[in-house]
Amino acid sequence: MILLVPADPLRPRHPDEHFAAEARAARVAGLDVAVVDHDALARGGDVRRAVASVSSSGMAVYRGWMLRSEQYAMFAEVLAERGVVLRTGAEQYRLAHELPGWYAALASVTPPSVWTTGSERADFDRARAVLGAGPAVLRDYSKSMKHYWDEAAFIPDLGEGAAAWSVARRFLELRDDDFVGGLVLRRFERFASTEVRTWWIDGVCVLVGPHPDSPNDPAPVEVDLAPVAPLVGGLGLPFITVDLALREDGVCRVIELGDGQVSDRPNTIASQTMIDILLARVG
């Protein structure tokens, strides 16, 4: 297996500092490690140049910064030209990376959601009507702006059209060119625990740990994966993360699902642990 990580923008032959520990752990474990130019991949220019330093061939796993689905598809294509096959295919990446790809399969264990295609006000208003009055959380297909909670994430009442659109407009300003797909409205639910990030390979949960936003918080012992596991497994995705939290009534809910290659590892989980689980399940 080859581990692909982003290059340091200032030292392009070296891994980006954020992923350097995993790269070191992979080398110690005997894996091939190669760096790729994430900025070139994200710009969509000379994508072949972005993978020029990849000299090995075989199966690869990427651990790096987020890519849009179309950027990942091009990434996979130019790697294939060099004899490198990403274990997560382009369509699998899209399904995990964008909420509309996984929502139907997990609808029973995640807050009710509706979405638009694009960012027009009329489409947003139609989505509001479908979900109905009451509080909601706004995001796009791949990301929220939860760190701007009051101004660009939380909508107190979808029945108040002007106020709801004000939040959406601010969200669009902040996301700017990073906006993906459309506007997603998710029914707001109250939670009684911090989020837990679970890591899954081929439908099997291989690691349960804290969320990167709260790396020092212990995982709630009450989290029961039994209701979630068959639904996650049914997606048939090779490497994903599922963020969970306990609702106020004690029910475990899926907050987010993402591709494991671009999911952040909290600093309280050792880099060696990440490499070990990949080796154990992927080889």
> pLDDT digit string (tens) for 138-185?
999 999 999 999 999 999 999 999 999 999 999 999 999 999 999 999
pLDDT (average), residues 43-72 = 94
Confidence band for 280, pLDDT divided at 50, 70 and 90 = confident
pLDDT of residue 220: 64
DSSP class per residue in the chain: -EEEEEBPSSSTTSB-HHHHHHHHHHHHTT-EEEEE-HHHHHHTSSHHHHTTT----EEEEE-SS---HHHHHHHHHHHHHTTEEESS-HHHHHHHHSHHHHHHHHGGGS--EEE-SB--HHHHHHHHHHH-SS-EEEEESS-B-GGGHHHHTEES-TT-HHHHHHHHHHHHHHHGGG--SBEEEEE---BSS--EEEEEETTEEEEEEE-TTSTTSPPPTT---TTTHHHHHHT--SEEEEEEEEBTTS-EEEEEEEEGGGSPPPTTS-HHHHHHHHHHHT-
Selection from 63, 79, 84 nearest residue 7 by Cα: 63
pLDDT of residue 120: 98
pLDDT (average), residues 271-276 = 95
Confidence band for 187, pLDDT divided at 50, 70 and 90 = very high
Q: Is the pLDDT of residue 283 over 70?
A: no
pLDDT (average), residues 55-80 = 96
- Name the token pair of 183: 């506007």
Q: Is the pLDDT of residue 11 over 80?
A: yes
pLDDT (average), residues 44-64 = 93
pLDDT of residue 44: 79
**Domain locations in the chain?**
2-86, 96-102+191-264, 120-186
What integer best gives the mean pLDDT of the chain?
A: 95
Q: What percent of the chain has pLDDT over 70?
A: 98
Chain segment 212-248, per-residue pLDDT in tens: 999 988 766 667 899 999 999 999 999 999 999 999 9
